[in-house]
Amino acid sequence: MKNVEVLLRDYVENLGRCGDVVQVAAGYARNYLLPSKLAVPATEDNKKLMERRRVRLDAEEAAHLAEIEARVAALSSISVRTVENVDENGHLYGSVNAATICALAAESGYELEEKNVRLPEGPIRQSGEHSVRLHVHGEHYAEISVIVVGEFAGETAADAEAREAAPDEVPEAVVPETAPNAEV
């Protein structure tokens, strides 16, 4: 398999950032990176042009870094909650996917894009609290909390919320009342 050197024009996840010279498969460069203008061939002229562009972009990114960090901090404080039908083991009959998380965040007043929600293990299919990563910008991510409350068949959402909020009640151990030296 033949690899080619390309010069990245923008941040490409799992590959590099603007100005990096990377080795990629020829087909990946020809069919994706070059047509979508994410990279250019790594010639000396392109490297000189990219170095000047990278200096300018680094200055712009430094100016926006405070704004990006503020957005990460604001998004990290988000906690969304949903009530879903579950079986007796806490497994959801459906799932909570990126679209559902975006809709829940919109109800809380935060606009998210589905493409920025990272669910590496796929949709959430278990009740409980889950941590979900949101891509904010470049290599900056925020973690939000998604709480899935399980609702059993025939139970209302209010009953499920109350059951989840109440601590598990453990019955006290029953101790037989016998005298310490009594014969049985």
User: How many whole angstroms separate alpha carbon 179 and alpha carbon 52?
Assistant: 91
Say if residue 54 is in the same domain as residue 121: no
User: At 57, which CATH number?
Assistant: 3.40.5.10
Q: Is residue 20 part of a domain?
A: yes
Domain that holds residue 159: 77-165
Task: List the beta bridge partners of residue 167.
Answer: none
Q: Is residue 172 part of a domain?
A: no
Q: Which residues have a Cβ under 8 Å from the Cβ of 101 and sit 6 or more positions away?
A: 80, 112, 117, 132, 144, 146
Say if residue 57 is in the same domain as residue 14: yes
CA separation, residue 112 to residues 69, 98, 109, 118 (Å)? 16, 10, 10, 12
Q: Is residue 157 part of a domain?
A: yes
Count of domains for the chain: 2
Question: What is the model's pLDDT at position 57?
Answer: 80
Question: What is the model's pLDDT at position 158?
Answer: 67
Say if residue 91 is in the same domain as residue 59: no
Question: What is the model's pLDDT at position 81?
Answer: 93
Residues in the chain with pLDDT < 70? Answer: 1, 153-184
User: At 114, which CATH number?
Assistant: 3.10.430.100
Q: Is 102 within 8 Å of 112 (Cβ atoms)?
A: yes
Q: Is residue 173 part of a domain?
A: no
Say if residue 161 is in the same domain as residue 88: yes
Single out the residue in 40, 63, 86 at which a domain terminates: 63
User: How many whole angstroms separate alpha carbon 50 and alpha carbon 42?
Assistant: 10
Classify burial at 124, counting beta carbons within 10 Å of its beta carbon; exposed 0-12, middle 13-18, buried 19 or more.
buried
pTM (two decimals): 0.62
Q: Is residue 104 part of a domain?
A: yes
Question: What is the model's pLDDT at position 144?
Answer: 93
Q: Is 95 within 8 Å of 119 (Cβ atoms)?
A: no
